[in-house]
Amino acid sequence: MSWIMLVEMTCCFAASHTSFIIRVAATAQRPSVSILDNAKKIEIINPLIFIPLLGTIIGTIIGARIHKNYKRREGNSKMKNILTLLLLCLAAVAANAQNEADIEVSYNYKHFHRRGSEQNHQMILLANSTSSKFYNPITEYLDSLESTPEGRDTYNQMKMAAFTSGNMKNVPKRSVPMYIFKNKDGNTDVFDGNITSMFRYTEPYEAQTWEIRDSTKNILGYECLMASSDYHGRHWTAWFTPEIPIQDGPWKLSGLPGLILEAQEESGQHQFTATGINATAKPITPNLGADHYEKTDRISMLKTLRKFEDNPVAGLSASMGVSIKVRGEVKVDKTLDFLETDYR
């Protein structure tokens, strides 16, 4: 058997078997689930099943490269480099595949402004069995724009056009500057803030301790069970469906034997309600605007944001470096608070 045949066989074996190992491991971590969408069952197909084919293709390409290099007598060292490159490529493919979501859930997040008015915002959960991302799509859009010079120019043009037309409402704003990244094998990364300050912190992943009740409820065609938990100063009631075996939910809520479709804390100040569920293979991408968020810890962030909420005029004056005066008193409902209240 010639050297070139041996190396080609090694490359193909490494490609196919590496792919097989990756596929089996990923399948064990990310079981397929059935999701009811538009009254039909949609079976989520794990995209990793295509990795063996990709491995074979890459192996064939690398084998051809090795054959060419062999004819040029460039030596065994280059063949080793190519084999190393093959394995690195497969590792990169596997890493990207593991960050793909299985489901995309839209939630309505109802909460109350410091002046007492009800606010409703769309939030998105991208999740698989091991990780998830919970975010506001407008915030992500603005962060993506401001992550590049071209995007910043586009955003500035949008603001200038709105200012010229006298309708600043057309300019998208970060109404909920929140991202929650859960990694069930590690940490939870949180990004949050207000109009003057943006913060980020990391904490160990922590699933809540739930007590499952006897009550049931139908949400989006799914039979849901009720559960309750105390978490960081608030008492939560959640509705989850075992029909979707992904132990995740809106915000930091997770740990139930099924997807959380609705959750409300006891005072009614915060509520998440699922409005749509779709099968997806979207990547769980990082926060593109992470550099704009100041590193801190959870308690410090909440105390800083609370100080602003109690006196927003002083907070704006301090952030802008100018003295702001308003006519009359700015009334703030101090009974309203954040999702977590254990910072007080």
Query: Where are the chain's structural domains?
Result: 3-36+44-98, 103-136+174-296
Calculate the CA 42 to chain-centre distance. Answer: 22
Contacts of 277 (CB under 8 A, 6+ apart): 35, 36, 37, 103, 104, 105, 106, 220, 244
- The identity of residue 21, as a single letter, is I
DSSP at 183: E
- Confidence at residue 81, expressed as pLDDT on a 0 to 100 scale: 55
Which has the closest alpha carbon to 181: 29, 292, 284?
A: 284
Q: How far, in Å, CA of 108 to CA of 120, rounded?
A: 6
- Confidence at residue 10, expressed as pLDDT on a 0 to 100 scale: 42
- Confidence at residue 68, expressed as pLDDT on a 0 to 100 scale: 52
Q: How far, in Å, CA of 103 to CA of 245, rounded?
A: 11
Contacts of 209 (CB under 8 A, 6+ apart): 229, 255
- Confidence at residue 239, expressed as pLDDT on a 0 to 100 scale: 98
Which has the closest alpha carbon to 109: 176, 191, 181, 180?
A: 176
- Confidence at residue 18, expressed as pLDDT on a 0 to 100 scale: 39
User: Is residue 336 within 8 Å of residue 112, measured between CB atoms?
Assistant: yes
The token pair at 226 is: 């009720």
Cα separations in angstroms, 229 against 131, 180, 249, 285: 21, 19, 14, 30
- Confidence at residue 335, expressed as pLDDT on a 0 to 100 scale: 84
User: Is residue 4 within 8 Å of residue 24, measured between CB atoms?
Assistant: no
For 301-312, write each residue's pLDDT tens digit.
999 999 988 877
- The identity of residue 68, as a single letter, is K
Q: How far, in Å, CA of 183 to CA of 17, rounded?
A: 27
Helix (H, G, I), strand (E, B) or coil at 264: strand
Q: Could you report the average pLDDT of every consecutive run of 10 residues in the chain (344 residues)?
A: 44 40 32 37 41 49 49 52 50 57 98 86 97 96 91 91 84 90 97 92 97 97 98 98 98 98 97 98 95 96 91 64 64 86 95
Contacts of 296 (CB under 8 A, 6+ apart): 199, 200, 201, 304
- Confidence at residue 196, expressed as pLDDT on a 0 to 100 scale: 85
Q: How far, in Å, CA of 118 to CA of 217, rounded?
A: 25
The topology under which CATH files domain 103-136+174-296 is outer membrane lipoprotein receptor (LolB), chain A (2.50.20)
- Confidence at residue 321, expressed as pLDDT on a 0 to 100 scale: 64
